[in-house]
Structure 1
C-alpha cells in the first residue's frame, strides 16, 4: 500500500523518499528542503478471507503491529479494497475488534466487486418471484420507484438494508440486502441485471 507523507516543517505533501534502511526512512520536502527520518512500525502478515458473493479467496494483509482493527473497517490490499465483516482469534473466537497481533484470520467482502442483493416480487395468487441482481455499489434505490427485473415490473415498497427495514426513503446499493414490492403494469424507471454467478460476471470482462 502506497504511503503518503507530510512535511512537519511546512505541511507540504510534495515529499520524496531519499533513503530506505529497513524500517528507517529518510524523507525530504521538495518545497522547503527540510530532511527528517521516520521509523515505520513493524507489520504483521494477517490472513484475510475475501468474499465476492458466493466465492471466497484467501489473501494476506500487511498491517501495523499494535493497530486495532474493528468490524466495519476498510483495508486496502494490493489488488482490492475489503470491508471487514468478522475478526477471528485463535481458538475460533469471533470478536468486534482486536489488536493486529492477536488476530488469527480476518473475514471481509470485496468492495471492488459489484453489489449483489435479493429482489422479491409479489405476484397475484400469493406467488413470490425472487431474483438476485448485480449493481454498482454507489447506485441508489428509492421506495416507490418502478423497476424491471427478469421480465417482471414491480414497485419498490420496502428496502431491507443491513441495519433496518425501510418503508420510505432511499438507500445505496452497498447497504441493501433486499428490495421488495408488488408487480405492477407500466413502464419501469430502470432495468436491473439478474446475477448469474461469479464465473458469468468474470467472463464478461474478457
Structure 2
C-alpha cells in the first residue's frame, strides 16, 4: 500500500471499518500520508477463514483434525501450525491428487504434519542374518543419528548402515530423529560404542 501522490508507505490511520459478507471480509481505511499529508481511502478484501483437514503423526498414530485458516495465505513444508492437538510442523501438502512443497491455502485438500510437542518415535531394526530384532524408541526430536555410528541397543552393539527418513534412504550421512522413520543396523564385534539407546526403548519385537 503506497500513497498515490508521493509513493510513500508511511501513513497514519485516521479511520477504519470492517464489512463482512458470506464469503469475504472487507476492510476500509482512511489514511493520511506522513510525508505529503495527502488523505486517501484504501480497501483491502480477503476471503473468510475456512476449515482445512490436518493429519497429524503422533508416535506412530495418525490423528485427523481441522484447523481454521485464511484461504489467501500460503503454506509450505516446515511451517508451524497451532492445532487443537498442539503445535505441529508441516511435512507434506496435498492439493488435488498430488503432494507439493508449498501451496495457497485455498488449493489445499489435506495438510500432513508431525507433532513437535512430544518425543520423536522411530523404529530400529537389528539384522541378525535372517532374523530381525525390532525396536521402537522415543528420542528427543533434535537427536542426531549418523550412518557408521556404533550403537548399543539392548543386548546388541551394532553399526548403523541405513537411515530411512520421511523423504529418502540415507546410506551415508545423518538425520535428526524428528524426520527418521527407521534405522537399520548390523551387529559388530566391538566392546566400545558411540552411544547407548537402550534406555529409550518403549517397545521391542524380537527375532521376526
**TM-score interval (norm. to shorter):** 0.5 to 0.7
Structure 1 residues 62 and 195, CA, compared in 2 at 3 Å: closer, same or farther? same
Question: 1:88: how far off?
Answer: 5.3
Q: Residue in 2 aligned with 1:195?
A: 202
Secondary structure in structure 2 of the residue aligned to 1:49 = strand
- 1:129-178 CA-partner distances (Å, limit 9, x unpaired): 22222211211112222212233221222323334433333222223232
The answer for unaligned runs of 5 or more in structure 2 is 1-8, 11-15, 20-24, 30-41
Which range moved further: 139-148 or 76-85? 76-85
1:87 pairs, out of 91, 94, 98, with: 94
2:59 matches 1:53? yes
Secondary structure in structure 2 of the residue aligned to 1:101 = helix
2:104 matches 1:99? yes
Task: Write the distance in 2 (CA, Å) between the matches of 1:44 and 1:126.
Answer: 52
Q: Is the 8 A contact 1:116 1:195 kept in 2?
A: no
2:160 matches 1:153? no
- 1:57-111 CA-partner distances (Å, limit 9, x unpaired): 33332222223445x242311521231424254xxx4442553234343332223
Q: Is the 8 A contact 2:89 2:116 kept in 1?
A: yes
Q: Residue in 2 aligned with 1:177?
A: 181
The answer for unaligned runs of 5 or more in structure 1 is 1-7, 10-18, 27-36, 198-206
Secondary structure in structure 2 of the residue aligned to 1:157 = strand
Question: 1:191: how far off?
Answer: 2.1
Q: Is the 8 A contact 1:75 1:84 kept in 2?
A: no
Q: Residue in 2 aligned with 1:144?
A: 148
Higher strand fraction: Structure 1 or Structure 2?
2
Structure 1 residues 38 and 171, CA, compared in 2 at 3 Å: closer, same or farther? farther
Task: Write the distance in 2 (CA, Å) between the matches of 1:86 and 1:40.
Answer: 26
Q: Residue in 2 aligned with 1:133?
A: 137
RMSD: 3.5
Q: Residue in 1 aligned with 2:116?
A: 111
For the pair shown, the structure with the greater C-alpha radius of gyration is 2
Question: 1:127: how far off?
Answer: 2.7
Equivalent pairs, count? 167
